[in-house]
Amino acid sequence: MPFPSAKKKITFDDVECPEYWCEFKTMAGMKYKEVRTMLAGNDPEDNSIDHVSNLLEATILAWNLPEEDGGEVLPIPSTDPTSIQKLPNIIVTHLVNEISGSDGSAESENLEQTS
């Protein structure tokens, strides 16, 4: 059985933005050392740490996402961490779910079981 893919390229069809794409390192395919470095000292209860920014800065390799439709492509987060703050929340949420391997289905299934 091969190791999980270390990179993935997605489009944003699911959020009705099919013209945009992003290539990133997958959490499943990253080396443990990289994940540990990315998360080192990050207490999930510490609100002063921006866990989403840390994740996106460490994993995004390339994208064609602009600040607004038709605008110039933003630099990737490892080059300019403020780029993330200029994106719509739905794009950031989609990226986090794709990179972490979560599609939200587990949460939906859990909610259905308790209803």
Write the pLDDT tens digit of every residue in 81-100. 999 999 999 999 999 999 88
Identify whether 97 is part of a domain.
Answer: yes
Residue 103 belongs to some domain of the structure: yes
Asked, for residue 93, whether it belongs to a domain, the answer is yes
Contact 65, 91 (CB under 8 A): yes
Of 34, 23, 85, residue with least CA distance to 58: 34
pLDDT of residue 41: 56
Asked if 50 and 92 count as a contact pair (C-beta separation under 8 A), the reply is no
Six-digit token string for 60: 């995004």
71: domain range?
7-114
Span 65-82, pLDDT tens digits: 998 877 899 999 999 999
Q: What is the predicted pLDDT for the residue at 115? A: 42
Query: In the chain, which ranges are continuous DSSP H helix?
Result: 32-39, 51-59, 89-100, 105-114
Residue 2 domain-assigned (yes or no): no
Per residue in 12-38, pLDDT tens?
A: 999 999 999 999 988 777 788 887 777
Specify if 24 maps to a domain: yes
How confident is the model at residue 114, as a pLDDT? 45
Q: What is the percentage of the chain residues whose pLDDT exceeds 90? A: 45
How many domains does one find in the chain? 1
Contacts of residue 51, Cβ cutoff 8 Å, sequence gap at least 6: 42, 44
Does the residue 47 lie in any domain?
yes
Percent of the chain with pLDDT over 70: 77
76 falls within a domain: yes
